[in-house]
Amino acid sequence: MKSLFAPFLFATLAAGSALAQSVTVTPSATTYSSAGGQITVSVAFSFATPTSVPSAMAFQITAPAGWSYAGGYSGDSALAKPVTGDTGPLGFAFSDFETQTPGKVAFSFKVNHDAGLSGTQALPVTVAQYKDGVVGTVNLTVPNVTLTSAGGGTVAAPVISSSTTASATVGTSFSYTITASNTPTSYAATGLPVGLSLNTTTGVISGTPTTAGTSSVSLTAANAGGTSAAVTLSLTVNAAAVPPSISTQPQSQTVTAGASVTFSVVASGTGPLSYQWKKGTANISGATNSNYTIPATTSVDAGSYSVTVSNSAGNVTSNAASLTVTTASTFAFSQHPVAITRSRGETASFQVNATGGTGTVTYKWYKDGTALSDSFGRISGSGTQTLVISNVGVADGGSYSATATTVQNGSITSNGAALTVLGGPTITRPALDAAVLAAGSASFSVGATGSGTLTYQWYFTPAAGGTTTPLADIASKIAGAATSTLTVSSVQKPNDEGFYSCSVTDSAGTARSTGSLSVVSRVLKISAPNAVPGADVVVSVLLQANGDENAANFAIVFDPSKLTYKSFAAGPQSDSGSASVPAGTTGRLNMLVGKTPPDVWAAGSNEIARITFTSGATGGSSLVGFDDLSASSPRSVSSASGQTLPAGFQSAYVTSISGLEGDIDGDGKLTAADWTLMGRIILGLDPAPTGEKFMRADCAPRLNSSKNLQLGDKVFNAADWTQVGRYVLGLDPATTIGGPSSP
């Protein structure tokens, strides 16, 4: 009852004295329209004598579903009455009846009823009265107000308005209510997933689905006006959630105070996954991702860390990871690079050392602020403590510095150190290290360009250390001490082992290049002929053997900007061989060649491998050398039993040349001037040429006894002068230079 006295009067009704004499409730009509409408209800109370008049009275009518208070109140003044739109019990309260003789109360009001109602509609009536502190019921039978359908109008069929999508999970209870307008009296649903059913009266679909998938469920609602249009409900039943599991646990870590640290976990399971990191047993506020980072650690952060991963199916807690925070230490360079001065062609090196850090230290070198990378034959150690620059030139001058880095401490930068490169010739082809057998001969050669006439002087420094002395030619021992090519014959161990350096001088200064000499029992060496730019060139790997060697493992390294690897073949003295390019590398071949055990290579020189390259389009020299297969697999020569045998390794240059045999002045033409110049060389009027010019001048014999091109015999004589004349006169076709490149 929506009235002032309703909560009290009707909550405390009890038997009392019968005071009221008559009560009538009269509707304005006994029928209603199923299309909806409004009726008026009139109520009258009457009392026989003044003594029977109660001090207060209340009247309540219970409106069924579809009925509501419409206002329109008239009659005696009510202490309380409903508010328009009320749909519950409708209550009215009155007082001051004891002043009336005989007392009576009369009033009326209006109620609305919705469209779509059918059958008999009952409005039960209850009366309560109050006198002298006693609440009692009216001692009268108050009949219900009943109305019957009079038809009239058309009841609209329901229209379904509930959502057309829903989702459920296998094994989890589910509920969905069909909602529709115009008071449906029944519902229908077809195509429900297994485990779900419909209450046709309430329109509730419920149950526990058993199979995952998506179903198209047809929904309808009906009333006296008909059946609604079918609506399709897309009902997705998801598979039962998979509990989370951890595939990567957080790891224990040690950091220096002030450094950052990150713990991480990798988990799987039905999403969404949620994370909660803990220190010990306490949750860490805001730590709800798969990673947890402490930007700047302190000693307070030390402890045990774990994470709980959760989803709708459960949760799992990771292993505990410990964090150790050490006292901050000074991470600094204990050794900085030192400024150095070098002549052109020499080797320059810088070294640093960083101490006081936590964890592994990595290094990186820079020149004038630009990061350096290793370059075969030129720069090595760019990512180590020691940087080495070979064959330095003017362009290498500058400031060199290094960074040192650890994960825990970050990066620090060393002082810069200047490399000063003196003026003088430019070394175009540095001297190479040599490895020879005892009593054999070793040659060192340099190529250089400069201003005016170049002069050469070779020096020797013993391997064991000592004084560096200039060399002079000694018959049968030292030759070319003052030329670009030095030959040391009948080498002995240890007297001839050491460092052979050449000083090349021009009008601007001096450049230097150094190679070492080792006396060994067996040698692996590169044999590299001259190459024509753009053409193929075959490089051989030779083994000077003792007769107990069965296999060799090594890497061949080269400059990929000047040589392009084409093919590999085992040498004629090898039974098998293979070559591979390591992943992610250029200018490198890993090689294995050998004999079938227990066979060995014969004592003496053996061609064990052949490598075909394509020479670059430009001329110049390209170093081809040996290297270890990897840091854990050094280059080696081994016996049939697998024993590693001591050996030396010697690299070589592939020199790309161009020009014509007999073109002494190098102008690309064969003229009488070339014939005259050749004569001056033979007569000693001009100095003997070197390098490429030597090859142009040493042109006879042109053919060997097998009628194949020979193109020289390492000496200058009248035959060369005659051959130049034949080229000039066109008696022999112009021929690209080849043959020997030095005496």
SS3 track for 473-536: CECCCEECCCCCEEEECCCCCCCCCEEEEEEEEECCEEEEEEEEEEEECCEEEEECCCECCCCE
What is the C-alpha to C-alpha distance for residues 2 and 11, in angstroms, rounded to an integer?
13
**Choice between 456 and 140, residue whose per-residue pLDDT is larger:** 456
Answer whether 671's CB lies under 8 Å from 725's CB: no
Whether 157 is in a domain gets the answer no
Q: Is residue 321 part of a domain?
A: yes
In a domain, 199, yes or no: yes
At which of 120, 149, 178 does a domain end? 149
User: Which of the four pLDDT bands, split at 50, 70 and 90, describes residue 151?
Assistant: low
Q: How confident is the model at residue 593 (pLDDT cuts 50, 70, 90)?
A: very high
Taking 90 as the threshold, does the pLDDT of residue 233 lie above it?
yes
Question: Prior bond to 124 cis, omega within 30?
Answer: no
Please check whether residue 158 lies inside any domain of the structure.
no
Give residue 5's pLDDT band: very low, low, confident or very high (50, 70, 90): very low
Average pLDDT of the segment spanning 423-446: 93
Same domain, 565 and 634: yes
**Both 538 and 512 in a single domain?**
no
Parallel, antiparallel, or unpaired for β 231-238 and 426-429? unpaired
Which range scores top for mean pLDDT: 70-84, 118-132, 179-193?
179-193
Higher pLDDT, 695 or 196: 196
pLDDT of residue 10: 34
338 CB-contact burial (10 Å; exposed 0-12 / middle 13-18 / buried 19+): exposed
Q: What's residue 132's pLDDT?
A: 53
In this structure, what token pair is assigned to residue 84? 């328009």
Say yes or no to pLDDT of 80 above 80. Answer: yes
Which of 23, 48, 4 lies closest to 137, judged by CA?
Answer: 23
| Spatial separation of the C-alpha atoms in residues 389 and 430, rounded to whole Å | 12
Asked, for residue 156, whether it belongs to a domain, the answer is no
Domain that holds residue 493: 426-520
The CA-based dihedral angle spanning residues 178, 181, 183, 189, taken in that order and rounded to the nearest 10 degrees:
-30
Whole-number Cα distances in Å, 261 to 280, 294, 412: 17, 5, 19
Same domain membership, residue 42 and residue 142: yes
Q: Alpha-carbon distance 507 to 706, whole Å?
A: 48
How many whole angstroms from its chain centre is CA 87? 66
Last residue of a domain, one of 283, 307, 326: 326
**Number of domains forming the structure of the chain:** 7
Instruction: Look at the alpha carbons of 321, 327, 328, 331 in this order and tell me if their dihedral is positive or negative.
Output: negative
Query: What letters, b where the CB count within 10 A reaches 16 and e where it falls short, cover 491-505?
Result: bebeebbbbbbbbbb
Q: Contact at 8 Å (CB) between 304 and 292?
A: no
Q: Characterize the bridge pairing of strands 455-462 and 498-506.
A: antiparallel
> For residue 256, what pLDDT is reported?
82
345 and 320 belong to one structural domain? no
If asked whether residues 417 and 439 sit together in one domain, one would say no
Among 125-134, 302-311, 418-427, 527-536, top mean pLDDT goes to 302-311
Flag whether pLDDT at 536 surpasses 90.
Answer: no
pLDDT at 51 over 60: no
Same domain for 12 and 144?
yes
Range in 46-50, 195-199, 550-554, 632-636 with the lowest mean pLDDT = 46-50
- Name the region of 584 (left: φ>0; alpha: ψ -120 to 50; beta: rest): left
Tokens of 713: 């015999």
| Same domain (yes/no): 528, 642 | yes
Q: Residue 729 is part of a domain; what is its CATH number?
A: 1.10.1330.10
Per-residue pLDDT, 534 = 81
**pLDDT digits over 555-566, tens only?**
999 999 899 999
Window from 135-144, 216-225, 236-245, 679-688 with minimum mean pLDDT: 135-144
Whether 488 maps to a domain, the answer reads: yes
Sequence letter at residue 251 = Q
- Structure confidence at residue 21 as a pLDDT band (50, 70, 90): low
| Alpha-carbon distances of 432 from 40, 502, 591, 623, rounded to whole Å | 122, 11, 22, 9
Is 155 contained in some domain?
A: no
Q: Look at residue 257 in the predicted model and tell me its pLDDT.
A: 83
| Mean pLDDT of the residues in the chain | 87
Q: Is the pLDDT of residue 375 over 90?
A: no
* 258 closest CA partner among 406, 414, 413, 415: 406
Residues 368 and 479 in one domain: no
> Could you tell me the pTM of the whole model?
0.50
Q: Are residues 294 and 191 part of one domain?
A: no
CATH number at residue 182: 2.60.40.10
Least confident range of 312-316, 485-489, 573-577? 312-316
The domain boundary residue, chosen from 381, 396, 421: 421
Query: Which CATH number covers residue 89?
Result: 2.60.40.740
Q: Averaging pLDDT over each range in 139-148, 236-245, 286-295, which range is the top one?
A: 286-295
Residue 154 falls inside a structural domain: no
Question: Is 94 in the same domain as 21?
Answer: yes
> 503 with 548, same domain?
no
pLDDT of residue 407: 84
pLDDT by residue (tens digit) across 511-533? Answer: 999 999 999 999 999 998 877 77
pLDDT given at position 636: 96
- Indicate if the pLDDT at residue 136 is higher than 80: no
**628-657 mean pLDDT:** 92
Structure tokens at 173: 């209870």
CA distances from 603 to 79, 435, 481, 621, 638 (A): 132, 17, 32, 32, 14
Is pLDDT of 323 > 60?
A: yes
**Domain check: are 140 and 12 in the same one?**
yes
Q: Residue 582 phi/psi, 5° resolution?
A: -55, 140
Whether the predicted pLDDT of 9 surpasses 50? no
Does residue 155 have a pLDDT over 70? no
Q: What is the pLDDT of residues 699-717, one digit of tens each?
A: 999 998 888 888 899 999 9
Q: Reduce the secondary structure of 168-191 to three states and give it as a string.
A: EECCCCEEEECCECCCCCEEEEEC
